[in-house]
Amino acid sequence: MPSPDKETAPSTLPAGAVARDVERHRGANVARVRDAVAEEIPIAFVYNERPHAVMMATPADLQDFALGFSLSEAIIDHAAQCEKVEIVEALAGIELRITIPEKYAAVLDDRVRQLTGRTGCGLCGAQTLDAAVRHPARVVDVATIDALALKRSLNELQRSQKINAVTGATHAAAWAATQGRIVLLREDVGRHNALDKLIGAMLSTGTDSGGIDPHDGFLVVTSRASYEMVMKAATVGIGFLAAISAPTALAIALAKETNLTLIGFARAHGYSVYANAQRVLDQSAQIDRSIAS
């Protein structure tokens, strides 16, 4: 978290942060300074010229956002089916004009799902219970992670957040190798958006095969573990999620249903495992599993 007294030069700001004037009060002292704040604008998803969703998001890594959202919302099955993404600036925001095979675009018409997403809200606009709560297939071949690797990833996580370092206003979703090294990170004012951007980056870059293997590592997020975070992860085959804040009851239930290991309250000094604890190796722990299930 940046210091509230820190002033950042506009020329040094990362994409997704902008400079604004602020009147800063500290006791009896008042100063007018330039401050770094996170951008948040409407981003419209348009598939084959069909408007589908509008999300309030940070306008950075938009190609990743388009691909990740399309995959995590099960609009397409594979990255190659995202044939083209055109980023078009409009007066009110930005349009992501996405071209996918027509049979997948036609399915969107049947889903009758027009999302108006506020920051951190991905279910807004779902019109039926079936549309609101999806049940991804069970994940397979999930890596076993050592507790020391988890601690290492948490130490790297804060240092890797460039937008949050100057604004204090963004979430991050990061992919860590099994040893705990952060290999990819994306940020956004919305936690779901950050995860979508990460998923898009993972599945479009990295290995020679065209992406990072979602079975070879684990996901770390700077937010609570809501149902949607688990749903999006499981949909693309990620089977290990660690959040620095709490999970919800529905997230725990879905994690168990999809065979995903779910960790909450991940901190340098400890963590809580809510589902599939057998994949967490902790040599220093003295485990008491006598609690009734």
CB 265 within 8 A of CB 289: no
CB 85 within 8 A of CB 200: no
Cα(93)–Cα(59) distance, integer angstroms: 9
For the chain, how long is the longest CA-to-CA vector?
Answer: 64
CB 260 within 8 A of CB 238: yes
Supply 91's token pair.
């007066």
Return the active site residues. Answer: 121
Supply 166's token pair.
């100057």
Supply 213's token pair.
């293997």
Cα(113)–Cα(85) distance, integer angstroms: 21
Cα(256)–Cα(276) distance, integer angstroms: 7
**Helix ranges (DSSP H) in 37-82:** 62-72
CB 239 within 8 A of CB 216: no
208 burial via Cβ count (<10 Å: 0-12, 13-18, 19+): exposed
Bridge-based pairing state of the strands 115-117 and 94-99: unpaired
Of the candidates 53, 41, 42, the residue with the CA atom closest to the CA atom of residue 17: 41
CB 19 within 8 A of CB 33: no
- The residues that bridge with 94 in the sheet, in sequence order, are 43, 89
Phi, psi dihedral angles at 37 (to 5 degrees)? -130, 155
